[in-house]
Amino acid sequence: MNLWLFPGQPLQFVQSVPVDREFEALAVLCRKHCGYDLVKQQPVSGACLSHHTCLQIYGVAMSLYCSRQLYNVGCNPGLIAEHSLGIYAALVAAKSISEQVALELVCRHGSCMFRMASQKEYALGCPIGLRVEAVEAAARNNGAFVANYNTSRHFLISGEKVAVEAALAECQSAGAFSVSSYPCEAPLHTPLMAEVEPELAAIVQEYRFTEPLVPLVESIHQTRLTASAMPAFLVQELLQPVYWERTWLKLRNSGFVRCTEVGSGKALSKFNRWIDAEHE
């Protein structure tokens, strides 16, 4: 059985893009349905897309491109798992939505989140090396939230920029061997996203979801998504943390023979090696 893992948002664009029929087909979809030029990695003339929305569209498109490549060589998934932004392309691989719908959803949700940035300044922080209790305490003490539980020592903290920076400073004082921060447009995977929850839900309700033909394990409760649960999950996954360590530990016992990270970068593969090293 082949296990496909769909990663979250990449941190940056690649310097060069593929030149083939599959990539061009996705580029056409991005231009038509998102106003995004996948080849030039920028909005098309007249489109109003933020940098982060473009990065999100790009990340989903690259996962869709990798999926096409795998299908073309006969490597079909027997099980699928997702991490954060990876849910959109994962739903396509599970045959629950089309590529067009995935791209439209990420674009529209991204534009919705961009509007939050006009009111407050948000950030993501990454402390590495501390145990979960120390990271949770640092976030709680400073009004931020743990957004990603990637491994037992790798986390993302999300919230208002001043709160995230204060939490990172506490993590560093507590002995973290690395802390870094990144600007973002919205406090992803935190209760603060409730501010735009009605708008996010209204967008999702415009689309139809079908039962997955391939089992899809979600990264909040590690359950298999059904069509009826998908609309609510697409909203709730932006309000709740990503529990990747729990997800990978469950997937390890699923009986897969081949595991492939389907998207830009190898972040999940790295996390998985760290987790495996602790649980061998």
If asked whether residues 107 and 16 sit together in one domain, one would say yes
**Residue 146 belongs to what domain range?**
119-184
> In DSSP terms, which residues pair with 122 in a beta bridge?
160, 184
For 209-223, how does the pLDDT look when each residue is reduced to its tens digit (9 = 90+)? Answer: 999 999 999 999 999
If asked whether residues 78 and 123 sit together in one domain, one would say no
pTM of the entire predicted model: 0.96
Instruction: Say if residue 54's pLDDT is above 80.
Output: yes
Instruction: Say if residue 280's pLDDT is above 90.
Output: no
Instruction: Say if residue 259's pLDDT is above 80.
Output: yes
Domain boundary among 149, 184, 219: 184
Report which of 154, 171, 57, 39 is spatially closest to residue 103, judged by C-alpha positions. 57
pLDDT number for residue 7 = 97
Supply the DSSP string of 156-210, one letter for each residue: EEEEEHHHHHHHHHHHHHTT-SEEEEEEESS-TTSGGGGGGHHHHHHHHTTS---
Q: Which two tokens stand for residue 8?
A: 């979250």
pLDDT number for residue 14 = 80
pLDDT number for residue 16 = 80
* Average pLDDT for the chain: 95
If asked whether residues 35 and 125 sit together in one domain, one would say no
Q: Quote the percentage of the chain above a pLDDT of 90.
A: 90
For 190-242, how does the pLDDT look when each residue is reduced to its tens digit (9 = 90+)? Answer: 999 999 999 999 999 999 999 999 999 999 999 999 999 999 999 999 999 99
Q: Find the CATH number of the domain harbouring 10.
A: 3.40.366.10
Q: Place 46 in a pLDDT band, splitting at 50, 70 and 90.
A: confident
For 84-136, how does the pLDDT look when each residue is reduced to its tens digit (9 = 90+)? Answer: 999 999 999 999 999 999 999 999 999 999 989 888 999 999 999 999 999 99
pLDDT number for residue 8 = 94
The 3-state DSSP class for residue 150 equals coil
Domain boundary among 184, 202, 234: 184
Q: Find the CATH number of the domain harbouring 142.
A: 3.30.70.250
Instruction: Say if residue 20's pLDDT is above 80.
Output: yes
If asked whether residues 71 and 204 sit together in one domain, one would say yes
Query: What letter represents residue 109's amino acid?
Result: H
